[in-house]
Amino acid sequence: MTLTGARVVDPATGRDGVVNVTVADGVVTAVGDQVEGRRVDLDGLVLAPGLVDLHVHLREPGREDAETVATGTAAAAAGGFTAVCPMANTEPVCDHAGVVEQVLRLARDAGHCDVFPTGAITRGLRGDELAEMGAMAALGVRCFSDDGMPVRSAQVMRRALEYARTWDAIVCNHAEESTLTDGAQMNEGELSTLLGLAGWPAEAEEVMVARDLVLAHGRGARLHVPHVSTAGTVELIRTAKARGTRVTAEAAPHHFTLVDEAVRSYDPVYKVNPPLRGKADVEAVREGLADGTLDAIATDHAPHPPEQKEQEWVHAPPGMLGLETALALTLTELVDGDVLTVGQAVAALSTKPARARDIDGHGGPIAPGAPANLVAFDPAQRWTVDAQVLHSRSRNTPYAGTTLRGRVVHTLLRGRFTYRDGALA
């Protein structure tokens, strides 16, 4: 099969131009002006390496009422993703080999998207005893995180970094100093005072990130900072990278598109952890993505069923969907806002996250011999988000009714369509 006429944007090779791509037996076999086999016309579309999400919650095992591996990976395929990394806060917790194997098997059976499970740092996410990191690493786990729960003890965090270094694996700590966020409901500021909601201060994130950067630097270990939400965190990471700390970082689309003013509505769809911040923080996150301080855009896709999410603000759990809107939000807000070029956007959504997690075969290059993990999107198409037609089992997106630019047309996993002509294949 030859994909013809698309603008190929491949950060791994620096290619950006119209060229044909031939795919056979799951791999790219030629890039040029050849037409071999069946022709698939992609005129007007961008063809890029399939997107890679470092931070999703697929909820299975345990919370299948919110999402399953099958529905979450279907949403991923619809969003242009060919690889996702589910977090360990399932029930039971992914803190031992059995859950890793279960998630891998469910993903293989569903066949929508490759899944690279993140293992827990500590047993039961309790923050004291280390999880079975070695047994999980033996199954290919490259990153460990108690996401949702911070590792409070510096001693445990230091030990985890040191242990992970044995496999040159990555530790990702949910950056929240919880003594500063007791009962917190939204970003701390004038608005939280006005609304009478307990504030989640920027310092709670920054204190934890500063500690972890010091520990990672001292151990020579790899740290990944999830869902960066404050200007101070961006600056800490920028400084750490300059001094050679082995750190990568991600930002979520809601942290570069929405501000805390949305909380005035008391609509819990805007409740997320870390919370939506002020304009200066949003601006700093955008700058961090532009200058490469923040490597990746990761969704923190966090489905919740309506009976849980649609409660009074203080009782609703934090989190929002992300997989099916991430690409369009990036194009609409960052590319149209002159923050990123299309090439930088693809790098942040695919090439750089794949490298940050050692995921071979994803993120490009689009070159002979490489697995054909690809997304084709229409950069011009405008569409309005309809929560009712999302592939996720849940509906908690704050973007329902929002018109965005850029729509996924096809997603290919090893040369096989997982999403085709705007529908699940």
79 forms beta bridges with none
Q: Closest by alpha carbon to 3, among 424, 376, 327?
A: 376
How many CB atoms are closer than 10 A to CB 15?
17
End-to-end CA distance of the chain: 17
Single out the residue of 147, 177, 205, 295 in contact with Zn ion (rule: CB under 5 A): 147
Least distance to Zn ion, CB of residue 281, Å: 16
Q: Which residues participate in catalysis according to the annotation?
A: 300
Least distance to Zn ion, CB of residue 176, Å: 8
Q: How many chain residues interact with Zn ion (CB under 5 A)?
A: 2
How far apart, in whole angstroms, are the C-alpha atoms of residue 411 and residue 66?
Answer: 24
Residue nearer to Zn ion on the CB measure, 1 or 225? 225
Sign of dihedral through CA atoms 242, 246, 250, 255? negative
Residue nearer to Zn ion on the CB measure, 55 or 112? 55
Helix or strand holding residue 135 (H, E): helix 133-138
Angle 97-110/69-78 helices, nearest 10 degrees? 50
Buried b (16+ CB within 10 A) or exposed e, 390-406: bbbbbbbbbbbeeebbb
Residue nearer to Zn ion on the CB measure, 229 or 344? 229
Q: Closest by alpha carbon to 124, among 160, 173, 171, 91?
A: 91
| Residue ranges in 154-213 that form contacts with Zn ion under rule CB under 5 A | 174
Q: Show the binding pattern over residues 311-340: x = contacts Zn ion (CB under 5 A), - = does not.
A: ------------------------------
Choose the binding region for Zn ion from 24-32, 109-117, 140-148, 397-405 (rule: CB under 5 A): 140-148
Residue nearer to Zn ion on the CB measure, 112 or 255? 255
Residue nearer to Zn ion on the CB measure, 7 or 57? 57
Least distance to Zn ion, CB of residue 147, Å: 4
Least distance to Zn ion, CB of residue 87, Å: 7
Choose the binding region for Zn ion from 60-68, 113-121, 145-153, 336-344 (rule: CB under 5 A): 145-153
Residue nearer to Zn ion on the CB measure, 8 or 171? 171
- The tokens of 202 are what? 């920027």
Binding flag, residue 254, Zn ion (CB under 5 A) = no
Q: Which are the contacts of 412, defined by CB distance < 8 A and separation ≥ 6?
A: 23, 50, 82, 372, 373, 374, 375, 376, 418
Choose the binding region for Zn ion from 141-149, 214-222, 357-365, 411-419 (rule: CB under 5 A): 141-149
| Residue ranges in 342-401 that form contacts with Zn ion under rule CB under 5 A | none
CA angle 139, 58, 258 (to 5 degrees): 125
Residues lying near Zn ion in the complex (CB under 5 A) are found at: 147, 174
